[in-house]
Amino acid sequence: MTQHSPRRIGDGKIMAVLAALVIAVAASCVTSSVLRAGAAGGSGDGSVELPEGRQIVFRSLRPGPTFGHVAVLAAADVRRERVILPTRCERTAASPTGGLCLRQTRNLIQPFAATLLDDRLRPGGEVPLNGVPSRARVSEDGRYYATTVFVTGHSYLSDGFSTETVIGRVGGDPIGDVERFTFLVNGQPNENVDRNVWGVTFVPGGERFFATVATQNRRYLVEGDIGRRTLTALRDNAECPSLSPDGRRLVYKKRTGLNSDVWRFHVLDLAAGVETPLAETRSVDDQAAWLDDDHVMYAVPKGGAGGRDADVWTVSLRGGAPRLLIPDADSPTVRSPAADRPLR
């Protein structure tokens, strides 16, 4: 016994030291969690205090640990400090009832996924993506969402790029790959195998949407019907449409220049069929969003096309020079909570 007593005493000291280390590590983890929650503006249940009224939801590109996180500003006063959420995305979109986050995962087999966000923009259900995130949209009533990814290539100007655009039904059966819809040109089915679809924008209150179809070196503005699973060509040379809040106009980018390698934003009056160029003269590769019925907003890379950093700009349909709206940001959309109620 006496020979084992010193060993037992030593073991006890070791156990005491280990217990102290465990407690210290646990305390450190708790402190770190609290600091992270505080930095993200979180509360005990993971919720975040969002601005009241109409909100601009975007991706914050400020340098630092929250680079790429979803952020929110009051549309009425963008000079206020942005609210940073814990969710990090490559592309995001929002509606009054929820949102969408296209993000990178840590899964080497499935490196990208789409995460659905609830009415407080907290992450919920998730679906895998088959490529690099490019475009995201959510219908105003929150029933549908659309994702576009690059399956090959990383630019709409590159040769041989291929996209996959999927429409999903929130809380229901998926709609599937829009490329499989029947494509109608001049009333006749077009079965070209090189078809690509991207840039969905939903029509409120139904199953219609607008999008872009590319085939045989032409880009068509199309009207889609989810129930009939059709894509009907409306006009040539229009990409990444976005429907105005009043449903009367579409803004899209249109190729110009001798080599068709420059885009300019144009607005189409759907009733009159009249197309008007906007005052933004830079070539911008983005799906514009509507700030209100008279202004659109879009991201402009700081380092030129393909830059990692960007600012959100806005331009008026009534003319006048574009102006900086949100620095260090991209992927903006506006949502108007029901009756402008605060989200808590």
Q: Stretch 56-71: mean pLDDT, rounded?
A: 97
Burial of 213 (0-12, 13-18, 19+ CB in 10 A): buried
From CA 117, how far away is CA 134, in angstroms rounded? 18
| Among 341, 299, 322, CA closest to 61 | 299
Encode pLDDT of 240-293 as tens digits: 999 999 999 999 999 987 666 799 999 999 999 999 999 999 999 999 999 999
Residue 63: predicted pLDDT: 95
Q: Stretch 191-212: mean pLDDT, rounded?
A: 95
Q: Which amino acid is at 104?
A: Q
Find residue 295's DSSP bridge partners: 292, 316
* More confident: 290 or 38: 290
Residue 105: predicted pLDDT: 94
Residue 159: predicted pLDDT: 58
Q: What is the pTM of this model?
A: 0.83
- Out of 36-45, 272-281, 303-312, pick the least confident: 36-45
The answer to whether residue 16 scores a pLDDT higher than 90 is: no
From CA 310, how far away is CA 327, in angstroms rounded? 7
Residue 240: predicted pLDDT: 97
What mean pLDDT value characterizes the chain? Answer: 85
* pLDDT band at 303; cut points 50, 70, 90: confident
Q: What is the CA radius of gyration of the chain?
A: 24
* pLDDT band at 4; cut points 50, 70, 90: very low
Half-sphere exposure of 35 toward its Cβ, with a 13 Å CA cutoff? 7
From CA 58, how far away is CA 148, in angstroms rounded? 17
Burial of 223 (0-12, 13-18, 19+ CB in 10 A): middle
* pLDDT band at 31; cut points 50, 70, 90: very low
Residues 6+ apart with CB under 8 A from 49: 41, 43, 83, 344
Superfamily of domain 51-340: TolB, C-terminal domain (2.120.10.30)
- Give percent of the chain above pLDDT 90: 73
Encode pLDDT of 137-176 as tens digits: 999 999 999 999 999 766 665 556 799 999 999 988 889 9
